[in-house]
Structure 1
Amino acid sequence: MRTPPAPAPSPAPLLRFGVNYTPRRGWFHSWHDFDEGHAREDLAQLAALGLDHVRVFHLWPLLQPNRALIRASAVDQLVRLVDLAGEAGLDVLVDGVQGHLSSFDFYPEWTRSWHHRNVFTDPDAIEAQAQLLRTLGRALADRPHLIGLQLGNELNNLVEHNPVTPGQVDHYLDTLLAAARDGLRGAAPGHLVTHSAFDAVWYGDDHPFTPEASARKGDLTTVHPWVFSGDCARRYGPLSPQVLHLAEYGVELAKAYAVDVDRPVWVQETGAPEPHIPAADAAQFARATVLNAAGCAGLWGVTWWCSHDVDRSLADYPELEYTLGLFDSSGRAKPIAAALADTIAALRAEPPSPEPRATALVLDCAPGTRSVSGPGGAYFETWMRLRAEGARPAVVLAERADDAGYLAARGITELVESG
C-alpha cells in the first residue's frame, strides 16, 4: 500500500499593511464639520501607496455627549467614512472610545467637573461605554470592508485621572469586549474585537493595565512600540539596532505573555517622530522597522502612525506630533511614504515565511519589575545584543521555561538565561 504524500504546508497568512488615518484638514476636529470630499481625497492618497487598510477614530464627546444620548448623526458620519474607505479599496478597523489621541484627552462633559465619574470603575460610565460600542457594532456590522471594532485608542493613557487597579481593568476590558462582540453579533464571521494600550503595559513596573490583559483579552494582541518610550531613540541612536528592531522586539515580547501560542500580534502603531528620528533617517527607519517585524511568525500586520501631519496652524501639540505623517499638511507625499510603499510592495511580491525562533531568552519578570524588559532595562539590552550579533531570539517567561509542551509548540529548542 502506497504511503499518501504528506500534506502541503499551509501558506503563511497574508500580512496586512495600513495606516492610522489622521484627517489632513482640521485633524480630528474635522468631525465637527465632516466633509466627504476631503475624506475621499485623503483616502485615495493612502490607497495609492498600496496600503490595504486604515484605522479610524471618531471623538467620544461628539458620539456620546450625554451618558444617555448617542448621536445618530455622528454614528452615521463614522459609517459613511467606513464606506468611503471601502470605495477606495481600504478595509477599516474602527476605534470606539476616544478617549486619547496624540497628547489630547477627549472626555464627554458627563465624566468631568462636578459630574466626575471614573471611566474605568464607575458602573454607569462603564455601561455607557458598553452601549456606545454595541451601537457602533450594530451600525457597522454589515459593512463589507470592516475589519472589526476596537474598544478605543490607548485607553490606558487615561489612568492618571481615573485611578484603577489591575483587577478593575480586567473587569472593564471584559465588559467592553463583550459589548463590542454583542454589537457585531450576526455580522459575517471573521470580524476582530480588540483593545489597545500604549507601551507602559509592557514596560511600566506598576502600570494597572498588564501585559497579560493585552496578550490574552480580545481576538489578537496589539502593540504600539514607540521609539520615544524609555527615551529609546535618544538613548541608543535613531538608527541603532535597539530602534530598528524595536517593533520586532515588541511582537516577540507580546507573544511570550500569550496563552495561545498561535495568537496573532498586530504592530498597530509605529512611526518616525522628529526629533527622535530625524527626517533624513525616517525612510531607512521605516524600511528596517517593517522588514524586521515581518520576520516574526504570527504577525498580523503593521499599521503606520500616521497618514497626515498635523497642520502647524493648530496649537499646543508636542513638537513630535506635527511631523508623524506620510503626507505633509499640504498633502505632499514625504520620502517616508515612498520608502514604506516600496517596502510593502517588495513584501507582497515575495511574502516572508519566517521560521520559528529556536532560541529563546528567558524573561524573569517578577511583579513590579516590568521595566527590565523596556529600553534601558537589562533584559531589553541582552535581547538587543543577541539580535545585533545575528541571533533571532524569542522571548519566554521564566514561569514557562520548564513547560516542554509549550516550548515545543513554539518551536523553541534552546533557552538562554538573561542574567
Structure 2
Amino acid sequence: MSVRFGVNYTPARGWFFHWLDFDLDAVRRDLDSIAGLGLDHIRVFPLWPVFQPNRNLVRANAIRDLLAVVDAAAERGLDVAVDGLQGHLSSFDFRPSWTVSWHRRNMFTDPDVVAGEAFYLNTLATALADRPNFLGMTLGNEVNQFSDKPHPDPDPVGVDEAESWLHRLLAACEDGAPGKFHTHCAYDAVWLQDGHPFTPAHAARIGAATNVHSWVFNGTAQRYGGDSAATAHYAEYQVELAAAWATDPAHPVWLQEVGAPAPHIPAERAGEFAAATVANALSCPNLWGITWWCSHDVSRELADFPELEYGLGLFTNDNQRKPAGQAIADAVAAQKTAPAQRIPRKTALVLDVGDEHTAPARSTCGPGGEFFEAWLRLARQGARPAVVRASVAHDAEHLAARGISEVVHVPDVWSSKHA
C-alpha cells in the first residue's frame, strides 16, 4: 500500500472565514499551488455555524460552495476529506447559536443537539457521496476538546456516552455516503490525559482509520528541544502508539495533522523538521497517509490568533512555496521514485495503562512519562520500536501478525541488554 500525501486546506484569502465571502477563483489558485507539490488529497473544513445556522437548516448555498471546492480539487487530481463539526480550529471555537448561551445544551448528550448533528453530517455526506474524489467524512476537528479541561466551558460526557456519540454520528455519515472512509479525530488528550472521556480505544477501534494529530508544542519540544530526537520521532511515536490500541493488527493509521510550530521549530529549520518527521513516520507499517498542517499561512490582517498559527503554512498568503513546502514536495517525489521501506518492527515495548476501556494511567505516554522515555531510548538506539498492549503481549498470533519477535517492558529498557 502506497502512502497518501496531502495537506489540510487553509485558504490563503480569509482563512476559514472564506465560506462567508466565497471566491472560487481564489480557491482554484490555492489548489493549483497545492497540486504543484505532488500531493494527492486535501482535508476541508466547513464552518459549522455557517453551514447549519439552525438545527433544522443546512444552507443549500453553503453545500453548493463545498461541492465547488471538491470539484475544483478533482480537476487538479486531488481527493477530498471533509470535516463536519467545526468545531475547534486554531484556538477558536465555532459552535452554532442553537448550542450556546440561551440555548446552551450539551453537544454530546442532549438528544436534540445530537439529532441535529446527525442531520447535518448526513446532509453533507449525502451531497458529497457521488463525487468520485470524495474520500469520506471526519466527524469534526478535535471535538474532544469540548468535553474536558482545559476547555473553559466544557460539555461533560462519560466514556460510554462518548462512545455512543461516535457510533451515532459515524452511522449518519455512512448512511449518507456508504462505503466511504469515515473517521473521527481528537487532539492528544485522547492518548495522554488521565481521565479524559474520549479514550485510546475509541480512537483506534471506531471508524475506518485511527487519526493522529501530532504537535510537538505539547511539551515535547519544550522538554527535549526543537532539534532533539524526541521531536523528530514524535509523530512516528504517536502512529505506533495508535497502532497498538487497535484490535485489528492491520487497522490503518492516518497522520491527519502534523506541523512545524514556531518558535518550538524555528522557521529556518521548518524544512529540516518536515523532512525528518515524514521520513520517520514513513517507517510505520500501518501508516495510511500524512496530511500536513497546513496549506497556507494565516494572514497577519486577521487578529487574535496564537502567534504560532500565523506561520504554519507550506505557502505564504501570496502562494509562495516555503522551505517546509519544498521538503514535503521532495518527500512526495522521493516516494514516487523510491518508496520508503516499511519493515515490520521486531521489538515492541509493552504498554500497560490499566483498564483498556478507560486507560486511567495514559499520562505515562506523554513527554517526560516513563513509557515515552523508554520508547525514545529504544528509538535512539535505532530499534524502530513498536508498541504492544499488555493484554496481547503474549498473544503469539497478534505478535506474528505485526512482525514482532521481541517484547520488552519499560524496566528492561534500562537494563544492561538495552543500555
- Same fold flag (TM > 0.5): yes
C-alpha distance in 2 between matches for 1:43 and 1:291: 25
Question: Which has the higher mean CA deviation after the structures are superposed, 66-75 or 364-373?
Answer: 364-373
Please give the per-residue CA displacement for 1:105-134, whole angstroms capped at 9, x wherever unaligned: 001000011111110110111111111111
Mapping of 1:164-203 within 5 angstroms?
Answer: 164-185=157-178, 189=179, 191-203=180-192
| SS of alignment partner, residue 294 of structure 2 | coil
How far did residue 158 of structure 1 move?
1.4
Q: CA-atom RMSD, angstroms?
A: 0.9
Aligned ranges for residues 249-288 of structure 1 at < 5 Å? 249-288=237-276
Find 1:53's aligned residue among 41, 57, 61. Answer: 41
Partner residue, 1:321: 309
In structure 1, what is the Cα distance between the partners aligned to 2:336 and 2:84? 30
Match of 1:163 in 2: 156
| CA-CA distance at 1:402 after TM superposition | 2.1
The separation in 2 between residues aligned to 1:195 and 1:358, in whole angstroms, is: 30
**Shift in Å, 1:142:** 0.5
Instruction: Provide, for residues 225-260 of structure 1, a one-character-per-residue CA deviation record: whole Å limited to 9, x for no partner.
Output: 11011x111111112111111111111100110000
Tell me what 1:93 maps to. 81
The answer to whether the aligner puts 1:206 opposite 2:199 as a matched pair is no
Between the two proteins, the alignment pairs up a number of residues equal to 402
Amino acid at match of 2:369: G
Residue of structure 2 in register with 1:372 after alignment? 364
Equivalent of 1:388 in 370, 380, 384 = 380
1:356 aligns with 2:344: yes
> Corresponding residue for 2:414?
none
The superposition leaves residues 278-301 of structure 1 with CA deviations (integer Å, 9 ceiling, x where unpaired) of 011111100010011000102101
Q: Shift of the alpha carbon at 1:223?
A: 0.3
Amino acid at match of 1:35: D
CA distance in 2, matches of 1:352, 1:277: 25
Runs of 4+ displaced beyond 2 Å: none
Partner of 2:389: 397
Deviation at 1:408, TM superposition (A): 1.6
Confirm or deny that 1:407 pairs with 2:399: yes
Letter in 2 for 1:223: V
CA shift, 1:213, in A, is: 0.2
Instruction: Report the identity percentage.
Output: 57
SS for the counterpart of 2:297 is coil
Aligned positions of 1:4-153 closer than 5 A: 13-153=1-141
Read off the aligned partner of 1:31 and give its amino acid letter: W
Residues 226-265 of structure 1 mapped to structure 2, 5 A cutoff: 226-229=215-218, 231-265=219-253
Does the residue aligned with 1:193 lie in a helix, a strand or coil? coil
Equivalent residue of 2:283, what SS?
coil
**Aligned-pair CA distance for 1:353:** 3.1
- In 1, Cα distance between equivalents of 2:105 and 2:161: 14
Q: Work out the CA distance in 2 between the residues paired with 1:213 and 1:35.
A: 38
The equivalent of 1:294 in structure 2 is 282
Corresponding residue of 2:323: 335
Give the whole-Å Cα distance in 2 for the aligned partners of 1:347 and 1:332: 23
- For structure 2, the 5+ residue unaligned runs are 412-419
Classify the secondary structure of the residue corresponding to 1:301.
strand
Q: Deviations along 1:331-388, whole A, 9 cap, x unmatched? A: 2211111111111111121112312111101111124211101111111011011101
Name the SS of the counterpart of 1:228 in structure 2.
helix
Match of 1:362, SS? strand
* Partner in structure 2 of residue 9 of structure 1: none
Task: Show the counterpart of 1:218.
Answer: 207
Deviation at 1:94, TM superposition (A): 0.6
Deviation digits for residues 11-65 of structure 1 (CA, Å, limit 9, x no counterpart): xx11100000000111011100110000000000000011111000010001111
Q: Distance in 1 between matches of 2:397 and 2:46?
A: 44
CA distance in 2, matches of 1:258, 1:368: 18
